[in-house]
């Protein structure tokens, strides 16, 4: 079922969803199930599965030349999505990126998803890998998320890269895209960011999931600006409870997200790691309750492979 259909079927009730990381290379699917099992009591209608680009390293050969080799730290998402849908009977939503894919790779990936009965995808540009200062698209790939949305929507119309194919079958993907309440780190302003978000909706996206945020006012302001620009699709907030002191520095640095002073000081004053975890859970509970009271259709939690904090929040909210 499509994300938009889940929202319509809920009749105004706020739904619970979450996102998982693929396991590290060498681990099996049980590590995924172990992180999902504790959260199934909250009846998530769908679960997102992230995708990680292949990274490269260079190894010096005896000749002195450098050999470029792929380092794949996490497996892809197709098999994981199939396993989730088979075991839990809920929709799995794979993330699909511009980075690391040619357009032909993307088409083949989408065909595989369609064969598996996967109805939803989250279309993302993706971030630069460690070896890049700025994001670099594949030579034969999509440069922007809006281009990726267009390619997916073309498949929904039965338009393949090979225009000479005959009797093609149209796919029927529900396309989600990312939104940034505090603007994307590379955008010059929030208004310009929303301008390009509107283009993604125009190209075929039907819902938005936001980057994490810790101040609901910024989310509500973002939604208001989107509505003013004529964006009417559901906007799903992304939430994450703080769990360690290190995240006070890591989150602003990596995601360019501001942390409220009150939250920072509560974490600083916490006496130990368990106290920090409790501060993060309670802050996220307060965020969640306010969002539900405002009639937000889905609350989406970034689990980062750990479910205990998310479960504590969900128990208090859903």
Given a cut of 90, whether residue 211 has pLDDT beyond it is yes
Highest mean pLDDT among 91-105, 127-141, 255-269: 255-269
Given a cut of 80, whether residue 260 has pLDDT beyond it is yes
Distance CA 3, CA 6 (A): 5
- Rounded percentage of the chain residues whose pLDDT exceeds 70: 88
Write out the H or E segment, with its range, that includes residue 211.
Answer: strand 207-212
Query: How much is the pLDDT for 139?
Result: 81
SS percent in the chain: helix, strand, coil, step 5: 40, 20, 40
| Mean pLDDT value of segment 32-50 | 95
Neighbours of 74 (CB within 10 A): 17
Strand partners for 238: 212, 300
| Structure tokens that stand for 151 in this block | 């390619």
| Structure tokens that stand for 248 in this block | 């006070």
Q: Please tell me the CATH code under which domain 3-317 is placed.
A: 3.20.20.220
From first CA to last CA, the distance across the chain in angstroms is 22
Which of the 8 DSSP states describes residue 40? G
| Mean pLDDT value of segment 46-54 | 81
Lowest pLDDT segment from 96-100, 238-242, 278-282: 96-100
Query: How much is the pLDDT for 84?
Result: 95
| Structure tokens that stand for 298 in this block | 């889905």
Query: How much is the pLDDT for 56?
Result: 47
- Rounded percentage of the chain residues whose pLDDT exceeds 90: 75
Lowest pLDDT segment from 19-28, 156-165, 280-289: 19-28
pTM for this entry: 0.91
| Mean pLDDT value of segment 112-133 | 82
Q: Quick one: how far is CA 206 from the chain centroid?
A: 15
Query: How much is the pLDDT for 168?
Result: 87
* Residue among 251, 278, 250 nearest 266 (CA): 278
């Amino acid at each position: 079922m499509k994300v938009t259909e889940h929202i319509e079927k809920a009749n105004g009730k706020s739904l619970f969803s979450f996102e998982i990381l693929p396991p590290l290379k060498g681990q099996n699917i049980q590590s995924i199930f172990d992180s999902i099992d504790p959260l199934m009591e909250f009846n998530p209608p769908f679960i997102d599965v992230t995708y990680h680009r292949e990274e490269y390293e260079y190894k010096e050969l005896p000749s002195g030349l450098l050999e470029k080799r792929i380092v794949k730290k996490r497996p892809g998402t197709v098999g994981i999505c199939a396993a989730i849908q088979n075991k839990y009977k809920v929709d799995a939503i794979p993330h699909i990126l511009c980075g690391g894919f040619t357009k032909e790779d993307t088409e083949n990936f989408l065909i595989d998803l369609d064969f598996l009965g996967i109805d939803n995808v989250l279309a993302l540009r993706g971030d630069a890998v460690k070896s890049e200062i700025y994001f670099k698209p594949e030579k034969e790939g999509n440069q922007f998320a809006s281009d990726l949305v267009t390619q997916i929507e073309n498949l929904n119309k039965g338009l393949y890269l090979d225009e000479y194919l005959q009797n093609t079958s149209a796919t029927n993907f529900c396309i989600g895209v990312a939104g940034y309440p505090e603007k994307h780190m590379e955008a010059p302003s929030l208004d310009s960011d929303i301008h390009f978000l509107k283009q993604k909706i125009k190209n075929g996206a039907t819902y938005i999931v936001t980057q994490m945020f810790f101040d609901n006012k910024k989310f509500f302001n973002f939604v208001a600006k989107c509505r003013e620009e004529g964006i009417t699709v559901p906007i799903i907030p992304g939430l994450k409870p703080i769990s360690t002191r290190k995240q006070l520095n890591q989150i602003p640095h990596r995601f360019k997200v501001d942390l409220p002073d009150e939250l920072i000081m509560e974490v600083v004053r916490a006496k130990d790691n368990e106290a920090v975890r409790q501060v993060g859970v309670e802050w996220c509970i307060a965020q969640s309750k306010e969002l539900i009271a405002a009639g937000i259709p889905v609350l989406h939690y970034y689990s980062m492979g750990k479910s205990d904090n998310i479960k504590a929040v969900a128990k208090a909210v859903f």
